[in-house]
Each structure stands twice: as structure tokens, then as C-alpha cells.
Amino acid sequence: MGATLFTVESYWAYGLPVNHYYLLLVFSGTLLIYSLHRIIGISKLSLVQNSGRFKVIRQYKSHIQFYIFLSFLLLNWAMWKLGTDTLWRLSGAGLISMAYVVPFFGGGRRLRDFNYIKIILISAVWAYVSVLPLIGEIKFTFLALTALERFVFIFAITLPFDLRDLSIDSSTQLITIPKIIGQKSTYWLCTILMVTGLISLFFVVRNSIQAYYLSSHIMIHLSYLITFTVMMIAKDKQSDLYYSGLLDSTLVIRGLVMWVFLLVI
């Protein structure tokens, strides 16, 4: 849902007609990747963790396998409905996503098992997929700034997850950014990234002559305030429900804030 709303936001923010088949592809593709990640990830952890979300994943493994099957069918239908040009543009992001969760590399490693690059890959793919509908539709300046804003936003909200998973990453010898710089510096980095995203939006609005841009991006600024508040509270939280339920839902909050705004105007 978060990835879909993140993409819908691109259409809404710039007043473009929504391509529902593209949204279906984003939804089903994200569901497929995340479901595969749960199944493959839990097998790699073996008996290292058997509580919290790991216990839930093992308990509902058959459900997740059904999601994989269903999302695969929906993904193929969406791909069949979309033009080859869009699919070619998505091919790189698709390959990266699959290599992120499937152990294609030596020693049974996935892309996410290489040091430092996990968050960079997540942020880059999400940013690219969410702004792809804007290519050829808006000025390059707007496109670049929007992509930058999406990249730093995802980067910022993903860093606390790596803090939460420090013990798990240590058990697999994975080195992440939070492991190197520590908790305090990680949250300073989150703050810098959020400010960078807001500055990007500011320049988009400043260079626009359309009131629609201004009003829609003001709503995204409001979602930034909500997200930053949730992120700072995360410093003292370890609950899986808090991270997966609230911090992860900041993507949905962005979309809902803009949706409510569009209903009102």
C-alpha cells in the first residue's frame, strides 16, 4: 500500500491522469518482493530469532506463500496491460529488487547482504519507480528534485529500521550505516535528510507558476512534520508493531494527507 500511494502521489501532485495498471504493477511487484524477502530471510536466519515478527512470519508462512502466488499473477497481468516502453524502463529496478531478496550471488548472498548498500538500493528503487510516470510529463528540474525528495525521504525513514536490526545484522556480519556511525549520529543524519527533502520541495514550488503545485506540496510538508515526529519517538522504541505499523505507515500518511486535501479543494 505504501509504495502504491507513494506513486499515486506523483500523479496527484502534478495533476496527471492516473495509470491504474502501473499502480497495480507497483502494488503487486512490491507485495511479491516483500513476501519473498520474508520467506527467504527467515530461512537464512534459521533459529537465530524465533520471537516477535519472526515468530509471526513462521506461523503464517503458508499465508505469505499464497501472497507470492497471487502477487505473481497480478504482476503478470499488469505487465501484459502496460506498454513495452514502461516495462523496459522498469527492468533495471526489477532486477535490482529481485537480486535484493533472492540469493543470486556466491555463498548464498543477496544484494542486501553486501555491506553499506542496503538502504541506498531501497531508496533508489523506490524513488525511481515512484517518479517514472513523470518522465516526459514535467520539466527535468521538477523531475530531478522530486526524485531527490523521494530518495532522501525513504533513506531517512529506513535508517531507524537498521538501528532496530543491529543485533540481527551483527549475527550475519552485515555492516550497515547505523552500525558504523551509532544511534546519535544516525538520527542526526535522519534530520539532515528530512531537511534536504523539504528544501527540494521548496525549490519545486518556487520554480512553479501553477497554484496546484504549491497547494499539493504544502500538504506533503505537513506529512514531513508528522513523519519526523514519529521518527524521533522511535529512538526509545523497540516494538516490531511500532516500526512496521507506525513508522512504515508514514508512506501511507503522505498519500492520505494529500488525498484528504484533494477531496476538500
Rounded distance between C-alpha atoms, residue 112 and residue 176, angstroms = 10
Residue 84 predicted with pLDDT over 60: yes
Compute the Cα dihedral for 162, 62, 94, 115 and give only its sign.
positive
Q: How high is the pLDDT of residue 109?
A: 85
Residue 51 predicted with pLDDT over 60: no
Bridge partner residues of 109 (DSSP)? 105
Rounded distance between C-alpha atoms, residue 120 and residue 95, angstroms = 15
Q: Which residues contact 95 (CB under 8 A, 6 or more apart)?
A: none
Q: How high is the pLDDT of residue 243?
A: 65
Give residue 132's pLDDT band: very low, low, confident or very high (50, 70, 90). very high
- Residue-wise pLDDT for 181-196, tens only, equals 988 898 899 899 999 9
Rounded distance between C-alpha atoms, residue 51 and residue 179, angstroms = 22
Residue 151 predicted with pLDDT over 90: yes
Average model confidence (pLDDT) for the chain?
A: 82
pTM for the full model? 0.87
Residue 256 predicted with pLDDT over 60: yes
C-alpha cell at 205: 514550488
* Average pLDDT estimate for 18-44: 88
* Average pLDDT estimate for 71-78: 95
Nearest to 225 by CA among 256, 254, 196, 200: 254
